Structure 1
Amino acid sequence: MAYPAEAANAPETSAPSTSFPSDIRFEQYRDERDMPGIVSLIDKDLSEPYSVFTYRYFINNWPDLCFMTMQGDRCVGAIICKLDVHRCRKTHRGYIAMLAVEKELRGQRIGSKLVQLCLDRMRQLNADECVLETEVTNLGALGLYRSMGFVKEKRLHKYYLNGNDAFRLKYLFKLPEGFHAGMGCLGQLVESWTPETKE
């Protein structure tokens, strides 16, 4: 089953504001009491329904890679990720599984902040790369991730249950050996890299 990191349909890049509403705060997942708000928010946006067991798989195994945006007692933004060893390349690969922001708060860089929190934590955990999938028609998500330094790796045909294609996007924490010699991303990841991001 696909776990699309579909940010939102409204482009984050349309509003360059870097200040959040005064009642907005960002928190790391604490415990099961946070689960209903996250599930309710994400289920409204994603193209494929998930059982609570899907959420628990990610959150219970990688609770430090789940962040929420809170407005009062209400969850208005959430990101769910994981980090494990890629079985083919033996690299530490992060994965953004789900990202959602309430419609009325989109365009205020909340999604970008959530992604940055996870990328920062993955970097602390010595990740080599981070990947995600999103629908090719989701221009809001594609714009958000492009602004964060993600690049398109491949197109996945009929990836979703609805028959839509996806792009797999990749963010490199370390550049591969031979990258500057034009060898692309095929070598071993050896060189640290921190792109400039626009906030």
Structure 2
Amino acid sequence: MSVEIRPYRDENDLPAIQKLMAAHLSEPYSIYTYRYFLVTWGKLSHVAVVEGEVVGAVICRLARHKRGPLRGYIGMLAVSEDHRKKGIGTMLVKASVEAMKEAGADEIVLEAETSNLGALRIYESLGFLRDKLLERYYLSGVSAWRLKLWLK
């Protein structure tokens, strides 16, 4: 199996990304949320493609945080169930972290459900640290960890 990890290119990928995220994330997102992230910060977001099919995606942004550090943010990460446990999630996060570093990010943050041990393992293996527990963070009432990777 050959996996291509590449930056988000155009709206041709959008239906597959939206379907993937809807199937694997607990929060619903509108098409406008995807477009906001992908049109503005498409070079930071990446897709994983196997045999022409989008099987994974990470959606990111970069903005100044409270007049302080330039903060990267990983908003969404999903890999289809058929392609999990193959390192694709790790490859996607690494590609986006590298893109955010090149864009000048000082730090990168994200939230992950406290029960999502697979995601926590990926992020922590890449140097992210649990920064804050966010009680009942998601609409479902599930708590989250805010994780942070300091780059500078």
Match of 1:127 among 105, 112, 128: 105
TM-score (norm 2): 0.97
In the other structure, the counterpart of 2:147 is 169
In the other structure, the counterpart of 1:99 is 77
Deviation at 1:29, TM superposition (A): 1.1
Q: Which runs of 5+ in 2 are unaligned?
A: none
The residue identity in structure 1 corresponding to 2:101 is R
The structure with higher relative contact order (CA 8 Å, sep 6+) is 1
Matched, 1:83 2:57: no
In the other structure, the counterpart of 1:150 is 128
Deviation at 1:25, TM superposition (A): 1.1
In the other structure, the counterpart of 1:29 is 8
In the other structure, the counterpart of 2:32 is 53
Match of 1:118 among 73, 96, 121: 96
Give me the identity figure in percent.
46
CA distance in 2, matches of 1:55, 1:133: 17
TM-score (norm 1): 0.75
Q: Which runs of 5+ in 1 are unaligned?
A: 1-20, 175-199
- 1:74-106 residue CA offsets vs partner (Å, 9 max, x unmatched): 110100000010015x11000000001111111
Whose Rg is larger?
A: 1
CA distance in 2, matches of 1:123, 1:26: 17
The residue identity in structure 2 corresponding to 1:163 is G
Secondary structure of the residue that 1:32 maps to in structure 2? coil
> Across the two proteins, how many residue pairs are aligned to each other?
152
CA distance in 2, matches of 1:32, 1:107: 28
The residue identity in structure 1 corresponding to 2:24 is D
CA distance in 2, matches of 1:139, 1:34: 28
